[in-house]
Amino acid sequence: MNMMAYDSMDIVTGPVSIIFGPQEFAGGYVNELTKQPYFDRFHGNAAYTFGMYGDSFWNVDLGGPVGKTKKAAFRIDYFGQAGYAPFNYYDGAYMQREAFYLAFSAHPWENLWIDWNGEVDLNNFVPYAGLNRPNAALIHDGLYQTGSWIGSIGPTGAFIPGHVTPPPSGGYVIDFGPEVPISRRNNIFNSPLNFTLQTYGVFQPIIRLEIDDRLRIVNNLMIEYFRTEIGQPVPMDTWAFLPYGYNVADRLEVITTLEDNKIKQLIDSGMAFRFLSDLEYFGTWHGPANQVDMTKPFSGGQDDPSPVSYDTAVAYGNPFLTDVPIPGFPGGFFNVDNFLSTQCRFFEISPFFQDQIQIGTKLSLLFGGRMDFYHVDASPPDGTPAILLEPFEPYDRTQLTAILPQLTFSSSYRPYPWMSLYATGFFGQTTAQSQFGAFAPEFTGVLLPSA
């Protein structure tokens, strides 16, 4: 998240609107307010911040009205980051970011507002994970348990020497040595082979048309693009590769205000639409990080066994443990039938209705409903070997259509200006999704209610 793209973030307590889709939160929500253009005059500022462990931040923020009539305005923000203390404290961890934000607003007529904002984020970082093998000596005295990985226990209980370890069975065998002092800044991800690259772009135009004092129409469109590459071959192979992801979401609202004596109603009804298409690869080696002795230098291949072959995976009763090379991502492997690797497209259409009733100054009621219509098409990702598709029939293309209802009812009572009481009831059916938000081919159409 690019915090420099926001003017404020409001924590709103109380019932949550059904307009935004399925939710299980009864205590409120966070309202993110992006930076708005300046209509009054030109504004500009720049800042540079530095601190401990190589922290470095810079920001340029400027904007102002367009033309003499001042019916349009813009805002531009550029943010850069090279270092972040929680990362930089640990050896080998770093955070490098660049974020570009642009907002444009126009008010051509008294009853029409057009707001647009767009953002591009580029992230490059290695996370921190601290030390492995935690015990009382490490926590209290800073003493680390040394010891080399010498083998594993096979499925029959026999000792298998060396690092050519099959999928998990009886565990790993470590020849423990003495406890020795170690720096708490050590990081098990400290390797030049580890990396995370992220590209994210978003485009969001919002149009508001006020018909009269009681009726207005709002259309909110959002288009997102994302790409992610995660490689953590040290100390255990973990790969996540998203070559592309596109998300298009639109919400059309008709908002009506009705007043009668002490009762005021705010009726919000309309239609939401969403389309997502992405390609996801995810794979992880089948061992823990504790086999690594962090007092010794390690790199890819030193304390990692070879990728698991199909024959080895079958011998251990699960062919889906096979490590498959990721197309276009040299050195990376993925696994299938893991609820993560997928090539997916889905559509969602959601009509909704919500009525918020204010009775006097102390009591309000909110009730609403939403119906989510899904059509999902999820397949094994490109590069999946045919041998993993047949004869294992369950792992194949999945197409399903689902209708998921959402119902909510909430009441709020404010006996004093400083006290609010509210209760929220929600019933709905929602979806389970993969790592990056799509559907995997092994997902089924079984629906589980949430109340």
CATH code for position 98: 2.40.170.20
* Residue-level pLDDT at 314: 80
Q: Is the CB of residue 293 less than 8 Å from the CB of residue 147?
A: yes
Residue-number span of the structural domain to which 116 is assigned: 3-124+185-450
With cut-offs at 50, 70 and 90, classify the pLDDT of residue 88. Answer: confident
Residue 393 has pLDDT above 60, yes or no: no
The top-scoring range by mean pLDDT among 3-17, 127-141, 263-277 is: 263-277
- What are the distances in angstroms from CA 405 to CA 68, 356, 437, 446? 50, 19, 20, 14
Picking from 23-32, 73-82, 114-123, 261-270, which range would have the lowest pLDDT averaged per residue? 23-32
pTM (predicted TM-score): 0.86
Average pLDDT of the chain, as a whole number: 86
Indicate whether 177 belongs to any domain: no
Indicate whether 281 belongs to any domain: yes
Residue 395 has pLDDT above 60, yes or no: yes
DSSP annotation string for 93-162: -EEEEEEEEEEEEEEEETTEEEEEEEEEEEEEEE-----SS--HHHHHH-EEEEEEEEEEE-TTS-EEES
Q: Is 260 helix (H, G, I), strand (E, B) or coil?
A: strand
Q: Which residues pair with 347 in a beta bridge?
A: 275, 375
Residue 172 has pLDDT above 90, yes or no: no
With cut-offs at 50, 70 and 90, classify the pLDDT of residue 75. Answer: very high
Q: Model confidence over 277-327: pLDDT tens digits?
A: 999 999 876 666 778 888 887 654 445 567 788 887 787 777 888 889 999
Residue 115 has pLDDT above 70, yes or no: yes
- Dist CA 429 CA 451 (whole Å): 9
Handedness of CA 132, 340, 243, 1 (dihedral sign): negative
Return the half-sphere exposure (C-beta side, CA atoms, 13 A cut-off) of residue 431.
25
* Residue-level pLDDT at 255: 96
Q: What angle do CA 30, 31, 32 make, to 5 degrees?
A: 110
Q: Average the pLDDT over 48-65 and give the result.
A: 90
* Residue-level pLDDT at 305: 60
Residue 221 has pLDDT above 70, yes or no: yes
- Who has greater pLDDT, 224 or 420? 224
Indicate whether 438 belongs to any domain: yes
Indicate whether 174 belongs to any domain: no
* Residue-level pLDDT at 358: 93
| Total of domains in the chain | 1
Indicate whether 295 belongs to any domain: yes
Q: Is the CB of residue 426 less than 8 Å from the CB of residue 367?
A: no
With cut-offs at 50, 70 and 90, classify the pLDDT of residue 450. Answer: very low
With cut-offs at 50, 70 and 90, classify the pLDDT of residue 448. Answer: very low
- Dist CA 344 CA 367 (whole Å): 34
* Residue-level pLDDT at 167: 54
Sequence-separated (6 or more) residues with CB below 8 Å from residue 200 = 119, 120, 121, 123, 224, 225, 226, 227
Indicate whether 147 belongs to any domain: no
Q: Average the pLDDT over 137-143 and give the result.
A: 94
| H/E run at residue 85 | helix 85-88
Q: Is 87 helix (H, G, I), strand (E, B) or coil?
A: helix
Q: Average the pLDDT over 315-341 and give the result.
A: 85
- Dist CA 226 CA 259 (whole Å): 45
Tokens of 106: 């126009």
Indicate whether 373 belongs to any domain: yes
With cut-offs at 50, 70 and 90, classify the pLDDT of residue 200. Answer: very high
The top-scoring range by mean pLDDT among 84-88, 151-155, 213-217, 292-296 is: 213-217
Residue type, 445: G
Indicate whether 374 belongs to any domain: yes
- What are the distances in angstroms from CA 218 to CA 9, 162, 211, 357? 22, 65, 11, 20
Tokens 């934000």 sit on residue: 101
